[in-house]
Structure 1
Amino acid sequence: MTHDCKGGLTYGDNCGKRCADRHCLNNSTCEANTGLCVGGCQPGWKDLDCSNECNDRYGAECSLDCNTRHCKNNNSPCHSRTGECVGGCKPGWMNATCTQQCAQGHYGDGCSNQCKDRQCYTNGTCDFQTGRCFGGCQAGWEGQSCTSECTDGKYGMNCNAICGECANELCDRVTGNCTDGCSDGFEGHLCKEVSPQKASDSTTVVSSAVMGVLSIIVIIQFVVIIRYILIVRKVRASSGPSVSFSNKPITRTTTTTSSVYEVVDDETNVRSPPAERVANTQNGQTNGTQHDYVNSSHQAERSGENGNHYDRLDVDVIGAGSPYSKIEV
């Protein structure tokens, strides 16, 4: 049951709540039944009478979320009125609640560092949290923050290039020029061009190496051929007699079976033609009896006139070494 509270000092059921305990934004009147704060509550407080504190939220009417802050300590308490991060903010964030990003050109803890102090390729712009240069570093610098000079032997953007054949092995970290000149055999401002003399020497060395390899190949092939010939000869010798060839003229020997001749006396009435009659002159003597010699291996043919006709001798019986000589009849 609600009663009219006196003097605006209390409100609510049985006037049990004090108007002074409210957290009204201004000196609001105190409505007897609800205690309504006309004009709203102070930051960190809520409800009609602004008597309940914010939970996991903060600010006016508890409109801000404590989880959106970037406190360095993730367990930092969240004050219901201010939302302040106890222990400060993470890099790249600022103000009490750590909800504001660093202004452009600044980065790091408390946004106290400036990107222009780095050698960024993009004219002093960098990541607001880490300071990493967008687009890499200017020539002669390296690292995520582009604050380290190129190490010896390197040059150019992000120090990705390698120095040439410099006389002192060092080059300008920005341009790569060899300040003390080139080593022997190289030329150009970067000392990366081979001089003509060195190139000629290199060609000679390569040619010599190629010739050496070819010579070894020829020798190996020769040894293989010789070995093959020896193996073939050995196999032929073990398998049977070999056949050899000679350039000497071939001498043919012909054995002729001598014909057997018989002497025919005048009394037999068998005569050979006069041109083939011979006389025995063996031992230098001439036999007075004339004989006809015929080849006994041939059979005589007899004509119808009873004339005797004989084949001519098969061999020359009056030639060299013959015991017979030709006589005229």
Structure 2
Amino acid sequence: MTAPLDRIRVGSAPDSWGVWFPDDPQQVPWERFLDEVSEAGYSWIELGPYGYLPSDPARLTAEIDKRDLKVSAGTVFTGLHRGPSVWDATWEHVSEVAALTQAMGAKHLVVIPSFWRDDKTAEIIEPPELTAEQWAHLTKGMERLGHEVKETYGLDIVVHPHADTHIDTEDHVERFLDSTDSDLVNLCLDTGHYAYCGGDSVKLIETYGERIGYLHLKQVDPAILADVVKNEVPFGPAVQRGVMCEPPSGVPELEPVLVAAQRLGVDLFAIVEQDMYPCEPDKPLPIAVRTRKFLRSCGA
């Protein structure tokens, strides 16, 4: 019998239903996502791209309450490595999302750094490596964001290492953590993205445990990943090839990750995200049901 992972709170997200954008004809309607995520046995959800779910707090509260759902976090994209000139525009976007996240009773804001490669066209927009000055802008900007979000909205920011961004590989993640204040900035460890970029999630949890504030559960298909790396395939097309796969068929193994997280002795959200944009509308629900069953078998 697997020991219960009683500090892990499992949820899912619009991403597991193929949702990447606020409005897109290839995505399922938000009502269907809410119905199906509840039917699959999850009680926690993320907001997904701002504007996908209703942004009026009273309406959204009514919709999630009737499905016995609760919100764990909102998500924002930022380009803070570009320096103080982007702060005002960043804060305007963050404030919108943070206000709704706070209104829904959630405590976390997932912060994703901007892409250096366009996820639709694959065009390289910026160099993959930051200069020393850009690193300073990024780390100081994230600390400022963490402080302002906490002061204004009472939320903790958790920065999400992500493929095709400047916080991706083990070296970049460690440099980011070593350069930021743990009182202001912690990590949303996405097991799939970290594996995609060559990192070891269990090692990261065991080494930087006090900085792990949130988890995204995801796996990569090693065979597809090898081809993606070899041919330098951008993240968007890699997802369309199925690089992010249904657990437990990929890597990393999720049970050791969850056990390592449980050992930290703190309550952590573990939100399932299986990148599937775009996907057939009937595909997500059966996967979500099987994934929830699998996570229960791990004790979560």
Verify same fold: TM over 0.5.
no
> What is the TM-score of this pair, normalised by structure 1?
0.13
**Which structure has the larger Rg?**
1
Provide TM-score, normalisation by structure 2. 0.14
Q: Which protein is richer in helix relative to its size?
A: 2
Indicate the structure whose relative CO is greater, using CA pairs within 8 Å and at least 6 residues apart. 2
